[in-house]
Amino acid sequence: MVKKFYITTPIYYPNDVPHIGHAYTTIVADALSRWNKQKGKDVYFLTGTDDHGKKIAETAREAGKSPKEFVDILVPKFKDAWNKLDIKYDRFIRTTDKDHEKLVKEMLQKSYDNGDIYLGKYEGLYCVGCEAYYTEKDLVENCCPIHKKPVEKVKEESYFFRLSKYQKDLLKLYKDNPKFIYPKSRKQEIVNRVKEGLRDLSISRTSFDWGIPLPFDKKHVCYVWFDALFNYLSGSGKNEKYWPADLHIIGKDIIWFHTVYWPAFLLSVNKKLPKEIFAHGWWTFDREKISKSRGRVINVDELISITGNKDSVRYFLLRATPFGDDGDFSEKVLIDRHNNELANKLGNLVSRVSGLIEKFGVEKTTNKLLKKLDEKKINSLMENFEVDKALNEIFSFIDRCNEYVQEKKPWETKDKKILFELKESILKISEVLLPFIPESAEKIKKQFLAKKIVKENPLFIKIEEKIEEKANKQEKLIGIMDTKEADFSDWEKLDLRVAQIKSVEDVEGADKLYKITLDVGEIGKRIICAGLKQFYSKDKLKGKRIIYFSNLKPRVLRGIESQGMLLAASNKERTKVSLIAPDSEIELGSTIG
């Protein structure tokens, strides 16, 4: 009988375009899905978006859109990114899909009927970024430990899920299924926390309505995590054909939701539990957390544009760190791997051997070279999710093939048997590389299976060559090698002026923004929106002389056209912000530089 393999990614919040972190999880899941397919399993791969919740509702409002309009604009960007990265999923689920909404209502009703949901009052500290409650002791300097932003005091009537009831079942689950939480290093922390005791979980909200209404009380909408986790069940194929999931791939940030809430919800509605949950590490950007507010985000298009090749991105992310560990993104390492491993090692092997075969042909013989490829080892590494090590193994075989060419010198000996061995080995390489770099692997396969092998264009253009090539075409190179360095001409483009704050108003519905009117001397009056409310009172701002970026493209924030920005310093966490001001009464409109 064919074994099934149901694999999932988290469903991502569509509140911005996907970035390297989302891409990483999805690429790993895609590679594992393709690999299992190759092994003959009946694979089902689910990904999608988490459309509901307060975070989405707020971001949509800031953009002046309804939540549904807003997510409908962003969801295609996820699909587009996955398409560009050759992600081959079986279903892209959205929590706004009708079948999902129906299932969530059924599950809520079932859990309610089983006596696991009751009405109570909730008072707590909520972080919208995490869509989760915290206790005082979780906070760091009164802020959410993950987003480093102030939490909200929330007090509302709420339905609760009897999470506390499942403590024993959960501990038994972890004990009886050593592979339920992977890697092991993350498991103990969960076990310890569950042992400390579980509090019942608030699973409904009345303060906003962007969610699935509870079937037994329509005033309430379902808590986004109850809604979201059930995507794995509603997306599990016709009549839940593929349930239970064989593997949920997630980031370490959401391990608690997946290893505690999720099995408890499933136990409550009498459904089978997923078999394994793998929580991978966190990507940083030049050692800093990836964060939208601080501008350290690299999205999928930017990522691909560095080398111009999607397979380099897939390869880099899969190989860069042991799966499970944290990783630091650097353009330089991506370019180095692209040049040294893909262009030099793999690309050169393919191009040299195809050129030689084009000239001299092949003659069948026993293949001693291919025996050096340890497929058993690769298989066992992949079964343990050691994706990076599997790639290491494949690349040491590629090294071996390159050495073989050097040793045997087929360009001198014209030995068709050696070329046969190399051809078959390269075909095997294309097969084992397919889950990781599908486009290039397909190209190699096509080329080497062709009746007449003809040397094709290089598989991977080395980055320096690409730069030269582009330079010849007189194209702009900015951003290819080193995006950090700014040119003097970049600075010259900015027009910074001394301005005075004339008036400050609140912006309806925004807790961070002020609408500020400026006098910029010869430039005249300007209106801007600035996120200063947490840091300055209106009185402190009024009359202040500041530095103003006058020629930025206007942006619409909360329906107000903001005509530029103020110059300010902020600490890493963005918990402190200080305006930069001229230290004398210089005329308004004076330039800076």
> Terminal CA-to-CA distance of the chain, rounded, Å?
73
Catalytic residue flag (residue 452): no
Distance CA 467, CA 491 (A): 24
Q: Figure out which of the listed residues 228, 233, 260, 304 binds ligand MSP, where binding follows CB under 6 A.
A: 228
250, 280 contact by CB (below 8 A): yes
Q: Which span (11-19, 101-109, 519-527, 536-544) binds ligand MSP, by CB under 6 A?
A: 11-19
Of 7-15, 311-319, 414-422, 439-447, the window that binds ligand MSP (rule: CB under 6 A) is: 7-15
Q: Please tell me which residue in 52, 54, 144, 515 is annotated as part of the active site.
A: 144
Q: CA 215, CA 107: separation in Å to the nearest integer?
A: 10
Among 7, 22, 235, 560, binds ligand MSP (CB under 6 A): 22
Residue number of the CB closest to ligand MSP reads 21
Q: Whole-number minimum distance, CB 251 to ligand MSP, in Å?
A: 3
CA 526, CA 310: separation in Å to the nearest integer?
43
Question: In the range 260-299, which residues lie near ligand MSP by CB under 6 A?
Answer: 282-283, 290
Q: Among 41, 138, 46, 142, which Cα is nearest to 95's?
A: 46
Peptide bond into 244 cis (omega under 30): yes
Strand partners, 578: 569
Indicate the residue among 8 and 339 with the shorter CB distance to ligand MSP.
8
Sheet with 201-202, strands from edge to edge, namely: 132-134, 117-127, 152-161, 201-202
Which candidate in 54, 55, 130, 149 is catalytic? Answer: 130
In the block, tokens 């009052």 appear at 121
581 Cβ contact list (under 8 Å, min separation 6): 544, 545, 546, 547
Complex with ligand MSP: residue 248 or 428, whichever CB lies closer: 248
Catalytic pick among 22, 148, 462, 515: 22
Nearer Cβ to ligand MSP, position 231 or 562? 231
DSSP 372-392: G--HHHHHHHHHTT-HHHHHH
The nearer residue to ligand MSP, 283 or 395, going by C-beta atoms, is 283
Given 5, 6, 13, 78, the residue binding ligand MSP (CB under 6 A): 13
Radius of gyration, alpha carbons of the chain:
28
Long-range CB contacts for residues 164-167, cutoff 8 Å, separation at least 24: 164/197, 164/198, 164/199, 164/200, 165/116, 166/198, 166/263, 166/264, 166/267, 166/268, 167/194, 167/197, 167/198
Question: Of these, 6, 10, 309, 562, which contacts ligand MSP (CB under 6 A)?
Answer: 10
183 near ligand MSP, judged by CB under 6 A: no
- CA quadruple 12, 386, 433, 406: dihedral sign: positive
Those residues whose C-beta lies under 8 Å from the C-beta of residue 361, and which sit 6 or more positions away, are 416, 419
Q: Is 143 one of the catalytic residues?
A: no
Give the ranges where 289-367 is alpha helix by DSSP (H). Answer: 300-307, 310-320, 331-337, 348-360
Among 5, 6, 7, 12, interactor with ligand MSP by CB under 6 A: 12
**Smallest separation (angstroms) from ligand MSP to the CB of 48:** 9
| Binder among 32, 46, 250, 387 for ligand MSP (CB under 6 A) | 250
Structural tokens at position 373: 């490829």
24 counts as binding ligand MSP under rule CB under 6 A: yes
Per CB under 6 A, 253 contacts ligand MSP: yes
DSSP notation for 80-119: HHHHHTT---SEEEETTSHHHHHHHHHHHHHHHHTT-EEE
Q: How far is CA 415 from CA 409, 410, 455, in A?
A: 9, 5, 18
Q: Does 211 bind ligand MSP (CB under 6 A)?
A: no
How many chain residues touch ligand MSP (CB under 6 A)?
Answer: 19
State which of residues 6, 7, 25, 557 lies at the interface with ligand MSP (CB under 6 A).
Answer: 25
- 110, 147, 165, 408: the catalytic one is 147
Catalytic residue among 289, 445, 538, 542: 289
User: Is 529 assigned a catalytic role?
Assistant: no
Is the Cβ of residue 130 or residue 557 nearer to ligand MSP in the bound state? 130
For ligand MSP, give the closer residue by CB, 325 or 431. Answer: 325
328 with 286: CB under 8 angstroms? yes
Q: Is 192 exposed, middle or buried (CB count within 10 Å of its CB: 0-12, 13-18, 19+)?
A: exposed
Segment lying near ligand MSP (by CB under 6 A), choices 10-18, 351-359, 434-442, 524-532 = 10-18
Catalytic residue among 195, 292, 371, 572: 292
By CB under 6 A, is residue 229 in contact with ligand MSP? yes
24 and 317 Cβ atoms separated by less than 8 Å = yes
Give 41 or 252: the residue with its C-beta nearer to ligand MSP. Answer: 252
Q: Name the segment binding ligand MSP (CB under 6 A); options: 22-30, 187-195, 433-441, 543-551.
A: 22-30
Instruction: Clarify whether 338 is annotated catalytic.
Output: no
> Does the annotation mark 147 as catalytic?
yes
Which helix (H) or strand (E) is 430 found in, with range? helix 416-433
Q: What's the angle, vertex CA 120, arms to CA 118 and CA 122, rounded to 5?
A: 130
Q: Binding pattern to ligand MSP, positions 41-60, x when CB under 6 A?
A: ---------x----------
**Residues in 148-177 that interact with ligand MSP by CB under 6 A:** none
130 is a catalytic site residue = yes
127 catalytically annotated: yes
Q: Closest CB to ligand MSP among 105 and 296?
A: 296
Nearer to ligand MSP, 330 or 517 (CB): 330
> Under the rule (CB under 6 A), what is the footprint of ligand MSP?
10-13, 21-22, 24-25, 50, 228-229, 231, 250-251, 253-254, 282-283, 290
Return the active site residues: 19, 22, 127, 130, 144, 147, 289, 292
